[in-house]
Chains A and B, each alone.
Chain A
């Protein structure tokens, strides 16, 4: 069974640009969550989608947005990139929110803003 796939694995962008990251959940999983991981702030929740609906959002500025498609694939977008947005962005999927099997994380997209 394929795991959670995130693309691209690495990305370098310039301040002010925007970026779109993609996540393909495990087949059959309908819940997708996004997290930002940095050495200073650790793992922080961005948002969670279930059946194409955003169910919850973390404390991030409006420059961070996401969506989920009917096939459960999800994208997150960051506009007007800042140096502080450099991080590992992780996507996690679950059959249902907080399911007994927990969330399965992808390997992440390493975003560097220069």
Chain B
């Protein structure tokens, strides 16, 4: 049973576009929500993370929006570049420290 539901499975945008990836969770005990980026042949790399007391966080061109009441959070990639083409995973964890990952979204940014 997937504790974090991620959509869409894949998306294609033009350079400069804003891909948006959405995640939803049920367990209100989750208190840490990271996003990871993975390139082929590599392990996931932490992009940005948020805690539920914050509604938005920006790091460079990456923004997380968090809606605690709806139990949803999303990743926006501003001014996307071909180098951003990768698989993105949302995740959530609580005090037991294990990360529950979404299924992943493959983002393709066309030049």
Contact = CB atoms under 8 A, between A and B. Distances in A.
Interface of A: 4, 31, 33, 35, 42-45, 48, 55-56, 58, 90, 92, 97-98, 101-108
B45 A48 contact: no
Q: Pick from A43, A48, A90, A92 the residue with the most CB of B within 10 Å.
A: A43
Interface residues of B, number: 23
A31 B99 CA distance: 13
Q: Pick from A33, A45, A90, A106 the residue with the most CB of B within 10 Å.
A: A45
A101 B46 CA distance: 9
Main secondary structure of the interface of A (DSSP, over half): strand
Given A102-B46, A104-B46, A107-B43, A42 B97 contact: no
14 contacts: A42-B89, A43-B91, A55-B97, A98-B93, A98-B97, A101-B46, A102-B34, A104-B46, A105-B36, A105-B43, A105-B44, A106-B43, A107-B42, A107-B43
